[in-house]
Amino acid sequence: MPRLDQCTTVDEVWGKLLNGIEYLFQFQTIRYSKWMLLYTYIFDYCTNNLSHNAELYEKLKNYLRKYLEDLCQSSTNLLDRDLLEFYMNQWKKYCVSCKILHGIFSYFNRHYIRRELDFGNPDISEIYSMAMKIWQQILSQLFYTKITRYCLNLIKAERNHQKIDTEIISNVIQTYVISHINQHKSTSDNNSQILDSYQEYFENQFFQDTQEFYRLQTITYLQHHSVIDYLLKLLGRSIDLTFLLTQRLTLSFKKSLETAIQRFESVNITGVIELQCLLEVNRLTHELLSSYLILDNFESIISEVNHSVSSALGRITLHIFWELTYDFLPHYCYNGSTNRFVKTQQPHVNETRREKMIREIPDVQLYGTRELNQAYDIVNNLYRGFVGVQHFRTMTRLLGYQGIAVVIQEMLKVVKNLLDKTIREFVEKLRTCMPKQCKLPRSDYGSPAILQYYLHQLHEIIHYPTLQDVFHCFRELGNAILFFLMIEQSLVSQLEFLMCTDIIRI
């Protein structure tokens, strides 16, 4: 810590501090060098004059008290909104200045004030808390009553269906509470005292006005309406139960759909079966409830949760494409006998990383109960070991024509990349390495000799450096071609189903 000219008396150190404190409460930006200089004055004084710290504390209190008294004098002619704006403006500036002042006196807080608090001195508190207490003492008598009356008039106007800025009332209440919290923060006062200012200057009067308002309103209302009608009047408004139910149900649908999509995003492509199942459960629930309530359109809710309103591609489409490109093509092998893709036991590339569900999912956001969740999980497990026709049909329904077009377009780019970077190079090498003549040996040479003959003729091809990579690229290419074929078959099947449905309706 740099040492300056020693201040041996409290008047000397206060004289050096006063200029900086006045500058601070003129709400000017204080530079770090100035801040550090003031801090050093206090540090040097406290380390050399332990017996006079109380006098420095009192001088600071007197300065803040005088500053706020002058502030009150300058606002005696202000009323209502002008007074409120003046009060809020000064409150914000005062808080900022006091926080900076608290930092300047941080060494003073840690040593002298902390020691006094440990000794149980009730008249001492940290600098910021002391500043809040003085604000409360000086301004409460002059400002709080007038400001509270103005806020209560605003509330009355709002009850009479006039539009008001409710943020004004919120800010005022916050100042009542925050100022009291801060002045008790460094002491052991009971927590119940924190709301004393709010209760004294706002809550009590608010309850009185509210009681009188509804007493008069009740007398007037019951002259023209029944008691039942009056019971439906709360806070000056008629309750629209249908609207409230619609709000709650829409929010519940959004949570359930968000859970369904998150579960799909945490698993591989086989999760489309479970996703489709959850979407259908929500769709059926929405359809049943729509018979009794006016709900938001279900497709609109899905679009919002799926982020397909603000984006050209939704979360479902993006995850399907991601899984097809980075997991399905490189990790699955086609089984022609079952017409299914199964996952290889020896992956050529690293496994795909997915974000896992970290929160516990309530049963109501899935199928309703734990028993139903377990039953549906058993059914969905039957489709998690392979990718087959059922999965492609489900993808077709989830993606729609636009989503399918996007996925195929992007997968064609992947196929083109495979052809250009890996397969083409191998094919060109194959053309140059193939022997010009490779006659069929005579059978009496025997199988071992014939094998050695072909191994010698095709030596360069067999020992191609990246032959394994090439084979995997061919497998990915084959998977992509089969994917296009099965998606086309699923589209045709879906179109035929829709045509049959239309014929039945006719």
Is the pLDDT reported for residue 155 higher than 70?
yes
286-314 pLDDT, tens per residue? 999 998 888 889 999 998 888 877 666 78
pLDDT for the residue numbered 492: 87
Residue 101: phi and psi, rounded to 5, are: -60, -40
Length of the chain: 506
**pLDDT-derived band at 257, boundaries 50, 70, 90:** very high
350-371 pLDDT, tens per residue? 676 777 766 678 888 888 888 9
- How high does pLDDT run on average in the chain? 82
All CATH 1.20.1310.10 domain ranges in the chain, comma separated:
10-214
Place of tokens 């390495």: 433
CATH of domain 10-214: 1.20.1310.10
Distance CA 105, CA 201 (A): 32
Distance CA 370, CA 484 (A): 38
pLDDT for the residue numbered 279: 94
Global pTM exceeds 0.75: no
Distance CA 505, CA 502 (A): 5
Distance CA 321, CA 350 (A): 18
